[in-house]
Amino acid sequence: MTSKREITTPVVANPLADGFVNLRVASSEALEVLNLKPVPTTWKSDTGRPIYYRLPAISQQYQKGYDRDQAFVYIEPKFGKPFGAGSLQVGRTGNNLNILFVEGGEITWDKGQIIVSPFEVDTSTLNFGDGLPDGLYQVGYTLAYAQPVSESPITGYSVANVEDSLLSEAAIGFSATRASENHEAFRALSFDGAWWPGATTDANGEKYTLDLKQEVSSDKFVITGDTREVTTALLTIEYSIDNITWITLGEVKPVDGVWDVPVYTNFTARYWRFGFTDGTASIEEIRYTGEAYFPDNRVTGPVQVATAYIDNFYEEVIGNYLLLASFELKNSKIVTITDYRRIDTFRYEPVSDWTTDFQDSSLLCLFDDVERYATKFLAPTTADYHFYDEMETSVCSGLGEFDVIGE
C-alpha cells in the first residue's frame, strides 16, 4: 500500500557523480575519417561552428530539433538487422494465411524512443467477427504524447495508508448536527480550537459525521476532546456506505479525555458518524489509521504512447504515425505484403527547452545582426528600420512600445 509520504513529498534525485569527467578524445585521423574535423564557420573561426538548438557541450550529441518528417524504425547500427526480432517487420504465418504478425522493436520520433512488443492478429476475426473484406490495408502505429488519464476517482488525489494521522490534508467532508460560534464543525479538523455540540460541551445526542469521499478501509479513530474542558460523554460509532443506511459498530467511553475507537471488522466504508450522549463532549482533533485520499504531489507529465492500427490503405491517418507495411487480402487470405518501413540508425534524444533556449535565441538574434549588418545599420534607407522592429516585444529586443512622455 502506498504511504502518505510517497504521494505528498516529491522525490529528490541526487546525481551519482564524483565531480570528475573523463573525456575520450578522438585523434585527428579519426576526426578526418568520421568527417568531424572543425571547419571555418560563419563567424570566421576555425575552432567550431554555431550551435543551433543543441547543448553547448563538447560532444554536441543532444539536439532539440528533429530533422526528420515522421517517425522511424530505429535499428541499432552495430548489432541490428532490418528483419526479424527487433525490426518491426510485418509478415504472415506459413500455415494460416489469415494471421498477420508484426515483430517488436523500437520507434524513434521527435519525442524520443518507444519500445513496442511483437503481436499477431487474425484478420478473419476483425470487423466485428466477420473478417476483413478483400482489399488493400495498411498496418502501423499511431503515436501520441499526452498526459495519462488519472485512474483516481478524485482528481489530484491518490489513496494512501496512514497511521495515527490528522485528516486535515485528506479529501474529506464533515458536518455536525449542532455547533456554536467559535466552535464550528471545521475546527475538529483544524489546528484552531475545537468543535462543541452547543454553547457548552453538554452532549444530548449530537452527532459529528465524516465523509471520506470514497469507500476505503479504516482501522482506527482516536478522538481527543477539548483539552481545556472535561470529557465524559459516551461515544457511539456508526458507519455507512451510502449515507442512508447506518450500522452501529459499538460504544466507547473516554479515557483521560480521549476516545480510542478501533475498527475490528475487515470492510470498507465511506461515511463515519460519532454520536455523543450522557455527559460532556467536544472534538479538538481526530487522528486516523487506515486508508484515505491525500493530495498526490508526485511529479507526473505526458508520456509516449504507441498504438497499433490496421486500416484501409487509402484512409488518412490523423496525427503522428509510423507506417510499417501494406497487405492485400484475396479470398480472406493475405496474398502480398509491401514493406514501407523507414529505418534509421539515429537515436533521437530530446533536451529540455530551458537548457538551451536563452543561448539559442541570443545566437540567432546576433546571427541575424551579422548577416544583415549592412542593411540594418549602414544603409541610409533601411538603417532605422530596426527601431520599428524593436517597438514590438520579441525574443531579440523585447523593448515594447516607446514611451514618448518619459525620459
Query: pLDDT digit string (tens) for 145-194?
Result: 887 777 788 888 888 889 998 888 889 999 999 999 999 999 998 888 99
167 & 186 share domain:
yes
Least confident of 54-58, 81-85, 196-200, 288-292: 54-58
205 & 289 share domain:
yes
Q: Which residues contact 336 (CB under 8 A, 6 or more apart)?
A: 327, 328
Q: Which residues contact 18 (CB under 8 A, 6 or more apart)?
A: none
Within a domain: residue 109?
yes
273 & 325 share domain:
no
Average the pLDDT over 33-44 and give the result: 57
pLDDT tens digits for range 189-227: 888 899 999 999 999 999 999 999 999 999 999 999 999
Nearest CA among 295, 297, 288 for reference residue 162: 288
Check: CB of residue 285 under 8 Å from CB of residue 188: yes
Asked whether the predicted pLDDT for residue 88 surpasses 60, the reply is: yes
239 & 288 share domain:
yes
Q: What is the pTM of this model?
A: 0.51
Asked whether the predicted pLDDT for residue 65 surpasses 60, the reply is: no
pLDDT tens digits for range 219-257: 999 999 999 999 999 999 999 999 999 999 999 999 999
Check: CB of residue 108 under 8 Å from CB of residue 71: yes
Within a domain: residue 52?
no
Q: Quote the pLDDT of residue 393.
A: 64
In this structure, are strands 333-339 and 320-330 parallel, antiparallel, or unpaired? antiparallel
Q: Which residues contact 356 (CB under 8 A, 6 or more apart)?
A: 53, 54, 55, 56, 64
Within a domain: residue 123?
yes
194 & 253 share domain:
yes
227 & 266 share domain:
yes
Domain range for 274? 157-295
255 & 230 share domain:
yes
Within a domain: residue 381?
no
Within a domain: residue 366?
no
Within a domain: residue 369?
no
